[in-house]
Amino acid sequence: MIPRFLCDEMNGDVARWLRIMGFDCKYIIGDNLDEKLIEICRREGRVLITSDVELSIRASSRGIRCILTNGLNRSQKLRKIIDTYGLKDYIGRKFRCPKCNTILKKVNTDDIIDKIPLYVVETYDHVWECKGCGKIYWEGSHWRNISEYIEKLLSSR
């Protein structure tokens, strides 16, 4: 089963990337959240991704699975998560909104012609719509950069 994740404040970029790769990842920021983070992970069976050694020890002692990311750069963090849970083959099976974690829906450009620029309608047959926050994504250069980054990430050792 593919795990679901929860990123602490220090791992916002990791949350964004996990979502882009299709994984369910919550991201919560604020002060004094340790107990809340542990509680959400316990209740929802999420893996806690944290840079805080003390928090990871505390969470682990209460049966929460943790990935400790202190001292790692973004690529190393993602690599560690992918390797630990054998996620490589599951990347890109779905897409989630990097902003709000909702699964993106593939829609025909003709159906949402009033919501996107004309050149997008003319260039693409479909786009990806977030029903959560309303954002719309299409496979432009940004998308290519993302694919390249993920490929590089997977081939690096």
**Site residues (vs Zn ion, CB under 5 A):** 97, 99-100, 102, 130, 132-133, 135
**Considering the complex, what minimum distance in angstroms separates the CB of residue 14 from Zn ion?**
17
**Considering the complex, what minimum distance in angstroms separates the CB of residue 23 from Zn ion?**
15
Closer residue to Zn ion, CB minimum distance, 67 or 130: 130
**Considering the complex, what minimum distance in angstroms separates the CB of residue 96 from Zn ion?**
8
**Considering the complex, what minimum distance in angstroms separates the CB of residue 71 from Zn ion?**
31
Nearest to 46 by CA among 4, 2, 100: 4
Closer residue to Zn ion, CB minimum distance, 10 or 100: 100
- Give per-residue burial for 27-63: e unless 16+ CB within 10 Å, then b: beeeeeeeeebbebbeeeebbbbbbbeebbebbeeee
Closer residue to Zn ion, CB minimum distance, 18 or 97: 97
**Considering the complex, what minimum distance in angstroms separates the CB of residue 44 from Zn ion?**
19
Give the N- to C-terminal CA distance of the chain in Å, as an integer.
25
Residue 145 CB coordination number (10 Å): 10
Closer residue to Zn ion, CB minimum distance, 90 or 137: 137
Closer residue to Zn ion, CB minimum distance, 72 or 103: 103
Asked if residues 6 and 41 have their Cβ atoms less than 8 Å apart, the reply is yes
In 92-134, beta strands by DSSP E:
105-108, 126-129
Q: Looking at beta carbons, which residue is closest to Zn ion? A: 97
